[in-house]
Every structure is written in structure tokens, then in C-alpha cells.
Amino acid sequence: MSELNTGWTEHTVVRDGVRLVARDHGGTGRPVLFLHGLAGYGGEWDATVAGMRDRHRVVTLDQRGHGASERRPLDGDMSRSAYVADVIEVITALRLEEVALVGQSLGGNTAMLVAAARPDLVRALVMVEAGAGGVDPREVDRVGAWLTGWPVPFASLDAAAEFFGGGPAGAGWAAGLERRGGGWWPRFEAGLMVRSLAGLVRPSFWPEWRRVACPALVVLGQSGIISLDEQREMALARPDTVMVTVPRAGHDVHLDAPEALRAVLAGFLDRER
């Protein structure tokens, strides 16, 4: 564990030889653990979690293969079960029992699987632009081609932000890069990201979604990727699920509209305190 001059404390948790790094923003109240999406890192949540420490203990995690955590696990395991076991280990090691899990995209799927597997640990679930349906294999190929097509190294963070589409989301993606060798590089290996996404290729995760016992919130971007059919099926499977659409936001709701997302989270999590 190390104290940094950025308002958060860094914790390292090791599970089966894989180093996992979490940022503990502190705060009073019941814990909330944030999980980023594919090719992301925990710092993506900084703008969203700002101001939440007066009501919650806030922790963000760099998941395996991402950010400051183990870049290449020795066993190469990027399976859904490995991600889930990592999160359970972090919850236990950092004493985050009765945690609210907030996950975006891939992180939302992980959060759902943890809530389904360990209802004793999870008091509330928030899935941001994540659904219970599986991923089409063609999407794995598309995302893989996009990741391997990045013109790295980027000459500057501004150039990277422009490549990622500009605006808050572009800047957020650029902020996840690291500087080395005179340029800016991703903090992941594209091949392992493809392997992670391939873990979502299955007919669906509907059985796990139905097993979630805690209160659940699904946050959607107005121009996000979760289809209306999938949204309706999720609501039918768990009628008590709260579903909120954030205007003027895409798949990266937490980057496009962090203040709006924070307000939605506050309204939901404060009820579960």
C-alpha cells in the first residue's frame, strides 16, 4: 500500500500471482467499487467519483491486463471467471464487504457475475452500458481490428484525443495512455483485450442476471450500444430493476457525462445505504 499526493491511496492485491492495483479514494459510509471497461483503467472514474466521499468509501480497480495491474498474467488467463475471482479477492482483501459494484461495459458484466456468484458480498449492482446478452463473434473481430489499428506511439495526448474522437470521451481515452520511448502508448496488450472480449461470446448471461438478488440499476447512454430488445428483456427478467438513460451520452457514459452519472448513482445508492 502507498499513499499518493493525488487524494487516493494505492493498494496492491495479489491473487494467484496476478498483481491487481486499486485506488482507494477514502470516504465515509458504505463502500462502492468501480470497474472500468475493456482497454480502460480505474482513473476513468475520477470525474464521476469526485464528491462521493462524503457518503461512500470509493475504490476504483485496474483489472487484470489493464493499467497499473498485471499487464500480462503469466497464465494468460483473461476469462470471465478470472476477472470475477479477482474482484472477489479485492473485496475481501480491502474489506469492502456489502459493497456496491459499479461497472461499465466489460466491467459491468464482471460486476453482474460477481453479484450473482456472491450475493453475500454485494449489496447493490450498477451496470453502465452493459447488458445480459452475449457478444456476437463479429464484434470481437471488429474491436480487435480497432485496437490493433491504433497509430502508436501517439506523438501527444492531444493527437491521441483527436484519434479517439475528441470531446470528453476522447480526452478520457487519451488519459489512459503512458509515456515511454518518446511517445504515448496503451497500457494493455491488444491480443489480451481480444481474449477478454471473447469471454463474452456466448448466447447470453440471462441465468446470471436472474440470479442477482440485490437491487440493480442499469444506466444507458442515449446513443449507447445496448439494444432496446435487450433492455426490455432485462426489465422483464427483473422487474424491480431501475433503468435510466443519460441524454447526450454514448457508450462511455462516465466520460461523456460524469456529473449526470454521478447524480444518477447518488439517487440510487443513497436509497441502499
Per residue in 21-56, pLDDT tens?
Answer: 999 999 989 999 999 999 999 999 999 999 899 999
C-alpha cell at 215: 437491487
**How do strand 242-246 and strand 178-180 relate by DSSP bridges?**
unpaired
Q: Is the pTM here over 0.85, yes or no?
A: yes
pLDDT at 119: 97
In angstroms, the CA 19 to CA 1 distance is 12
The conformation of residue 82, written as its DSSP 8-state character, comes to H
Architecture of the structural domain at 2-133+203-272: 3-Layer(aba) Sandwich (3.40)
Cβ-contact 30, 123 below 8 angstroms: yes
Arithmetic mean of pLDDT, 62-75: 94
Q: Bigger pLDDT: 199 or 4?
A: 199
In angstroms, the CA 154 to CA 174 distance is 9
Planar angle of CA 250, 215, 253, nearest 5 degrees: 10
- Position 220: which residue type? L
pLDDT at 74: 83
- The residues that bridge with 218 in the sheet, in sequence order, are 127, 243
Q: Where are the domains of the chain?
A: 2-133+203-272
pLDDT at 4: 41
Residues 6+ apart with CB under 8 A from 265: 32, 48, 52, 102, 126, 217
pLDDT at 271: 79
